[in-house]
Amino acid sequence: MHPEQKETLPLPEAVTHLLEECRMVLPGLQALLGFQFIAIFNAGFSEKLTPTEQRLHLLALGLVALAGALVMAPASYHRQTGPQEVSTHFLTLASRLLLGAMVLLVLGIGLDFYVIARVILANRWLSVLLTLVVVSLFVSVWFLLPRLGR
């Protein structure tokens, strides 16, 4: 097969790959969420962060939690609607849920990166600049690179 040719996977195999992709994302998501929860109980949380930055952390935590819900949704949906069946509808829905989770995850990571950078650097504009660089990198490799590879 020529390197530029693409082979279409059979539907059951495509669903298996998608569910495995969800399983690959989930542990990192869970670890990040755990660290986000732990940060709140750190003595320096209320001392080093302004009320606005604390709310940004809460928003980031919420976005990561929602991303976790979206990543786990395909397995729950499949289990409840037809565990012995696969369909193009399920593959499309699950793909959209996973991509939606990735969008929420990059936003959550970006917000928390800003909060952490602001605490460490004590410079709001440098923190914003670094956050934009990090978020741009995530968006590039998670969303733009795959579109270029089509």
Residue 138 lies in a domain: yes
Range with lowest mean pLDDT among 2-11, 62-71, 124-133, 138-147: 2-11
First CA to last CA distance, the chain: 17
CA-to-CA distance for 61 and 145, rounded, in angstroms?
Answer: 27
Predicted local distance difference test score (pLDDT) of residue 140: 96
Least Cα distance to 68 among 37, 114, 39 occurs for 37
Predicted local distance difference test score (pLDDT) of residue 149: 80
Residue 2 has pLDDT above 90, yes or no: no
Residue 6 lies in a domain: no
CA-to-CA distance for 101 and 93, rounded, in angstroms?
Answer: 12
Residue 4 lies in a domain: no
CA-to-CA distance for 74 and 91, rounded, in angstroms?
Answer: 9
Residue 2 lies in a domain: no
Residue 5 lies in a domain: no
Count of structural domains within the chain: 1
CA-to-CA distance for 41 and 32, rounded, in angstroms?
Answer: 15
Across 12-16, 20-24, 107-111, the highest mean pLDDT is recorded for 107-111
pLDDT digits (tens, 9 = 90+) for 26-36: 998 999 999 99
Question: What is the average per-residue pLDDT within 58-77?
Answer: 95
Question: What is the average per-residue pLDDT within 104-117?
Answer: 96
Residues 6+ away with beta carbon under 8 Å from 18: 74, 91, 94, 95, 98
Structural domain for 110, as ranges: 11-148
The whole-chain average pLDDT of the chain stands at: 91
Question: What is the average per-residue pLDDT within 91-109?
Answer: 95
* Percent residues over pLDDT 90 in the chain: 59
The token pair at 150 is 């089509």
